[in-house]
Amino acid sequence: MADLLCRKLENFIELRGADRQALLGLTKNIVRLKPGEDIIQEGDAPRCVNLVLEGWACRYKQLEDGRRQIVAFFLPGDMCDPCVFLLDEMSHSLGSLTPLTLARIPQEEIAGIIAGNTTLSKAFWLDMLVSTEVQREWTVSLGRRTADERLAHLFCEICLRLKSVGLTNGHECEMPVTQADLADALGLSAVHVNRTLQELRATGFVELKSRRLTIFDQERLRALAMFNPSYLHLQRHTGN
């Protein structure tokens, strides 16, 4: 569990034993949250980097009138911005979607690594670049993909990200979020997510049932979503 971050970064760059040790040393200050709690809120000053160990979290923004948009999912092994603490205040909130275990890494430790360890400093840059790539792909989905394509694309992305840290074989994985959460991530209404899910299931490509996702036909799911895995930059290990 503690080495998920290592596994994740090793998709991008080779780590030596000392680097791995340094990363493992970050896993302390463990915090547990219930589903639906905020990790940090818009307006707060970020003081530490949050590393997800178990469960799912999200980054979200809320408009004045209550409309909510989830802009990122955090899976086990994900860091919520290696360098947030450079900013004065959060312009969005982080919240748990499931029971959550996370490590709160003091900013000094991250800053120390960035100043003193070239490999890990590069790894953090790569991690940041890839998170940004994901954010861009979400922008594409919301701007130009239809509801079924959006869902299909998200499923492809999540499954591959979980695979890159060894949490799935690529055909079946956890999807422990409500349809309302999916709706807020995909820019749809919960009702429409429900109907689209049924439609996808009817095609036989994929099924989401009691918080588990099963992919029956990855080839065709990817074709439907127009999913091109290159934006995740995982080639070092998982290939596609």
Partner DNA sequence: CGTGGGCTTGAGCGTGGTCAAGTTGGGTGG
Partner DNA sequence: CCACCCAACTTGACCACGCTCAAGCCCACG
Output the CA–CA distances (angstroms, integers) from residue 139 to 55, 69, 185, in the order listed. Answer: 24, 12, 11
* Measured distance CA(95)–CA(36) in Å, rounded: 6
* Measured distance CA(200)–CA(60) in Å, rounded: 26
User: Rg of the chain over CA atoms, in angstroms?
Assistant: 18
Name the residue nearer to DNA (CB basis): 172 or 207: 207
Name the residue nearer to DNA (CB basis): 128 or 180: 180
Please name which of 94, 78, 227 lies closest in space to residue 155, comparing C-alpha atoms.
227
* Measured distance CA(51)–CA(89) in Å, rounded: 19
Of 154, 197, 200, 221, the one binding DNA by CB under 7 A:
197
The mark string for 142-161 relative to its own copies (x by CB under 8 A, - otherwise) is xxxx----------------
Of 99, 106, 166, 187, the one binding DNA by CB under 7 A:
187
Of 62, 69, 121, 189, the one binding DNA by CB under 7 A:
189
* Measured distance CA(164)–CA(75) in Å, rounded: 11
* Measured distance CA(158)–CA(6) in Å, rounded: 18
Where does this chain touch its own copies (CB under 8 A) — which range of 2-10, 50-58, 69-77, 190-198? 69-77
Where does this chain touch DNA (CB under 7 A) — which range of 11-19, 122-130, 144-152, 223-231? 144-152
Name the residue nearer to DNA (CB basis): 140 or 191: 191
What are the residues binding its own copies (CB under 8 A)? Answer: 59, 61, 63-65, 67-69, 71-72, 81, 83-84, 86-89, 91-92, 115, 118, 122, 125-126, 128-129, 131-133, 135-140, 142-145, 184-187, 226, 228, 230-231, 233, 235
